[in-house]
């Protein structure tokens, strides 16, 4: 029998060690909230995939960490995710971070995690800060059960549809909202969900952190007087655990717009312009669309 040859052999590519994707939570405001484990993982990673390289660079510089960065965000994740997977398959240790908080939670990351799983790549979560969890913990709202709905749709019609779906919930609702849309969301929530207890958590963990407690009606009035700025988490409870009963009246969309406006003027004591704005909101229309409908109704 021929003798076996000894010596080093090049390991086949198929047997090469596969890397690991670390899903790393970063501070949502206060840099002291980063964990020791997160710092270690970031220091040891071969590559850090981040939503905004400039923001992540500031975080890394603060902790004297220098690493190769690659952008990974909602606009390039379709093409960038496969590129990162290739590096992982070649043995790279990759840390995934977002601008703040936990990746894949109302932030980019799900597509990459899903693709890694399909390719048999190990996923390791490195937990840490999350805005809605921090807000819930300090809000005083019931937290035994809750529903996190992320950002509601920006378009009013779709947002109101989402709120109608959530209206049957008896658990605390946790939402994110942009400051320029907060008042519209509060007004829609008040109308569709009823005057439930609610909390606006603003700039959580940051220098201007603020919690505003009350009911939706109170928060609407407050936001009308003084716009709320910063990063916002909106928490909505239920009134004594009861779900608002649906109205027995015909839906607003089944009532002619002109009649709808007249009814609002009488019932609320408001002028025609304000009534048209309210009717448009209830029908999921822009004021311009509502005005056009009103003109068509008058001309017909």
Fold of 132-236: 3.30.950
The pTM of the whole model exceeds 0.75: no
Edge-first strand listing for the sheet containing 93-97: 69-71, 47-50, 93-97, 20-24, 122-126
| Residue ranges of domains in the chain | 17-129, 132-236, 252-299
pLDDT digits (tens, 9 = 90+) for 229-263: 999 999 999 865 444 444 444 445 557 778 887 87
Task: Tell me what pLDDT residue 284 has.
Answer: 67
Task: Tell me what pLDDT residue 11 has.
Answer: 38
Residues of the chain with pLDDT under 50: 1-15, 241-251
Task: Tell me what pLDDT residue 12 has.
Answer: 35
Task: Tell me what pLDDT residue 226 has.
Answer: 93
Q: Do domains 17-129 and 132-236 have the same CATH topology?
A: no
Answer yes or no: CATH 3.40.1010.10 is held by domain 17-129.
yes
Task: Tell me what pLDDT residue 58 has.
Answer: 96
Task: Tell me what pLDDT residue 7 has.
Answer: 47
């Amino acid at each position: 029998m021929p003798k076996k040859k000894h010596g080093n052999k090049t390991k086949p590519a198929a047997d090469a060690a596969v890397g690991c994707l670390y899903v790393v939570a970063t501070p949502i405001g206060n840099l002291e909230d980063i964990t020791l484990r997160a710092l270690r993982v970031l220091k040891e990673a071969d590559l850090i995939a981040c939503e905004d390289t400039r923001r992540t660079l500031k975080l890394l510089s603060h902790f004297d960490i220098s690493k190769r960065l690659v952008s990974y965000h909602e606009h390039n994740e379709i093409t960038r995710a496969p590129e990162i997977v290739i590096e992982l398959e070649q043995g790279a240790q990759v840390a995934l971070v977002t601008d703040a908080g936990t990746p894949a939670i109302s932030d980019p990351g799900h597509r990459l995690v899903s693709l890694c799983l399909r390719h048999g790549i190990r996923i390791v979560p490195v937990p840490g800060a999350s805005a809605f969890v921090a807000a819930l913990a300090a809000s005083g709202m019931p937290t035994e059960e809750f529903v996190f709905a992320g950002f509601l749709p920006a378009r009013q019609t779709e947002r109101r549809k989402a709120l109608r779906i959530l209206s049957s919930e008896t658990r605390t609702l946790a939402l994110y909202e942009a400051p320029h849309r907060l008042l519209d969301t509060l007004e829609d929530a008040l109308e569709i969900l009823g005057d439930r207890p609610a909390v606006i958590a603003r700039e959580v963990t940051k220098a201007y952190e603020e919690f505003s407690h009350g009911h939706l009606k109170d928060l609407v009035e407050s936001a009308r007087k003084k716009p709320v700025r910063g990063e916002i988490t909106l928490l909505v409870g239920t009134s004594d655990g009861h779900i608002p009963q649906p109205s027995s009246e015909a839906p607003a969309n089944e009532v002619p717009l002109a009649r709808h406006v007249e009814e609002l003027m009488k019932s609320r004591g408001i002028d025609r312009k304000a009534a048209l704005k309210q009717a448009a909101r209830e029908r999921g229309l822009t004021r311009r669309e509502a005005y056009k409908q009103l003109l068509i109704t008058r001309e017909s």
